[in-house]
Amino acid sequence: AQKITQTQPGMFVQEKEAVTLDCTYDTSDPSYGLFWYKQPSSGEMIFLIYQGSYDQQNATEGRYSLNFQKARKSANLVISASQLGDSAMYFCAMRETSKTYGGSQGNLIFGKGTKLSVKP
């Protein structure tokens, strides 16, 4: 079974509007971390935002916020006031704490990504 599911292969959004990118995850570990990365066409992977499973509040970083619904096991990324430069692939990833100090040393498991296109 997939650990990280991103159901939207591609999304379009109008410049200056908000957009939500979906991510659901599967884990039985009560402690885990969720990450979002951006990959523009140039190819590099850029860290955007982190949410810990025990964090009381949803994470925010500038125009990025995370809509974390623990019971639903979802961690959707919200980008407010989209800009043309936001056009990129977006990846959701998870690290399970039970594996952080074990053999896998907390490998990040990535979803397949969502391609976001911002229209002018």
Partner 1 sequence: DAGVIQSPRHEVTEMGQEVTLRCKPISGHNSLFWYRQTMMRGLELLIYFNNNVPIDDSGMPEDRFSAKMPNASFSTLKIQPSEPRDSAVYFCASRRRVATNEKLFFGSGTQLSVL
CA–CA dist 48, 46 (Å, integer): 6
CA–CA dist 110, 87 (Å, integer): 19
Q: Name the minimum Å distance from CB 106 to partner 1.
A: 6
90 binds partner 1 (CB under 8 A): no
35 binds partner 1 (CB under 8 A): yes
* Count of residues in contact with partner 1, rule CB under 8 A: 28
Q: x/- contact string, 40-69, with partner 1 (CB under 8 A)? A: --xxxxxx--x-x-----------------
β-partners of residue 37 are 47, 91
CA–CA dist 114, 13 (Å, integer): 13
Closer of 43 and 62 to partner 1 (Cβ): 43
